[in-house]
Amino acid sequence: MPARSFFCMRHGVTDWNRQGLFQGRTDNALNDDGIAQAHAAAERLRAVSVGHVVSSPLSRALKTAEIVAAASSRCVTIDHGLIELDFGSFEGKPVRELMMQHGKTNAQGLVDMLPADSEPWPMSPRARCALSADGWTGIPMTRSCSFATTP
Q: Is 102 a catalytic residue?
A: no
Determine the Cα–Cα distance for residues 7 and 41; give it in Å rounded to an integer: 11
| Identified catalytic residue from 11, 39, 80, 119 | 11
Amino acid letter at 97? E
Within the chain, residue ranges assigned H as helices are 15-19, 32-45, 59-71, 95-101, 109-113, 125-128
Q: Is 39 a catalytic residue?
A: no
Phi, psi of 40 (to 5 degrees): -65, -40
| Identified catalytic residue from 84, 91, 97, 102 | 84
Determine the Cα–Cα distance for residues 123 and 4; give it in Å rounded to an integer: 26
Dihedral (CA of 86, 92, 97, 98) sign: negative
Catalytic residues: 11, 84
